[in-house]
Amino acid sequence: MVDPPFSLQPASVSDILLAKIMADSFTLDRHTEMKSLGKVPYNLEEVSKSDTTRYLDSPECAVIKAVHNASGEIMGWSCRVSADPGQKTCLRCKGKTLSIKVTNTAVR
């Protein structure tokens, strides 16, 4: 089995790039485009900065990032909301890198 070219790691407030990744992901989204047509310009990156910070500070949210092993570049991220705040420690990896299996380029 081939090792994946990335690892999943806990995200932190210093990972401000997460907001840009979020905004870039929705550049061509119709809903986001409609919001930008209003009188007040809609800046998804700015909205995402405050949202991401809120997620990282919340006991109900676990935020992880995919980091390219060779370059260290953040490739993407995910936030999982739990009804059990006690799960956050486990989901945030306890400071350890998660191991994952990659099959046909799909993360399992």
At residue 70, the pLDDT reads 93
Q: Tens-digit pLDDT profile for the chain (108 aa)?
A: 678 888 888 898 888 789 999 888 888 889 888 888 877 878 888 888 888 888 888 877 888 899 999 999 999 998 877 655 544 443 444 444 444 433 333 333
pLDDT the model gives residue 71: 94
What was the pLDDT predicted at 83?
Answer: 57
Q: Does residue 91 sit in helix, strand or coil?
A: helix
In a domain, 12, yes or no: yes
Residue 99 domain boundaries: 6-107
* Structure token pair of residue 50: 């405050």
Task: Tell me, yes or no, whether 27 lies in a domain.
Answer: yes
Beta partners for 61?
81
Neighbours of 22 (CB within 10 A): 19
Number of H helices, E strands in the chain: 4, 5
| Reported pTM | 0.66
Distance CA 80, CA 63 (A): 6
User: Residues 51, 84: contact at Cβ < 8 Å?
Assistant: no
In the chain, the number of structural domains is 1
Which pLDDT score, from 0 to 100, does residue 98 have?
A: 44
Q: What is the pLDDT of residue 82?
A: 67
Within-domain flag for 1: no
Instruction: Please tell me the predicted confidence (pLDDT) of residue 41.
Output: 77
